[in-house]
Amino acid sequence: MASENSGTIKKGRILRGTVVSAKMKDTVTVAVVRYVKHPKYKKYLKRVKRYLAHDPGNRHQEGDRVAIQESRPISKRKHFVVVSESSSVGNEHEAAHAA
């Protein structure tokens, strides 16, 4: 069984969120928003969870929309890696006013 699993690459879940803090070295804090339906009242509630993600080279700044992927534990609280940048909130705002 061990030989079968050694050839496959295990991928973790991918979440999308916004960088809310980039003050640490090689680490960003990403806020991921999800909507949950209340079991009794059937109203959708916004739930926000903040994840620490590894960002080698400190490429991302606050306000950037990023995708993070689950990985092996990098530190006590950091077990996600930034895999791609969607867009920047500031750039979208500037592009809307430029047109």
Distance CA 22, CA 6 (A): 35
Give the span between the Cα atoms of 42 and 58, in whole angstroms: 41
Answer with the residue of higher pLDDT: 4 or 9: 9
Q: What is the rounded CA–CA span in Å between residue 36 and residue 14?
A: 18
Asked if residue 95 has pLDDT above 50, the reply is no
Stretch 42-61: mean pLDDT: 97
pLDDT band with cut points at 50, 70 and 90 for residue 77: very high
Report the alpha-carbon distance of residue 20 to residue 86 in Å, rounded: 15
- The tokens for 76 are 């006590």
Residue 15 has phi, psi (to 5 degrees) of: -120, 150
Q: Which domains does the chain have, with CATH numbers?
A: 9-98 (2.40.50.140)
Q: Are strands 64-70 and 78-88 parallel, antiparallel or unpaired?
A: antiparallel
Nearest to 53 by CA among 85, 93, 19, 95: 19
The pLDDT of residue 84 is 85
The pLDDT of residue 80 is: 97
Average pLDDT, the chain: 86
pLDDT for 11: 84
Confidence of residue 8 (pLDDT cuts 50, 70, 90): low
pLDDT grade, residue 94 (50/70/90)?
Answer: very low
Q: Is 95 helix (H, G, I), strand (E, B) or coil?
A: helix
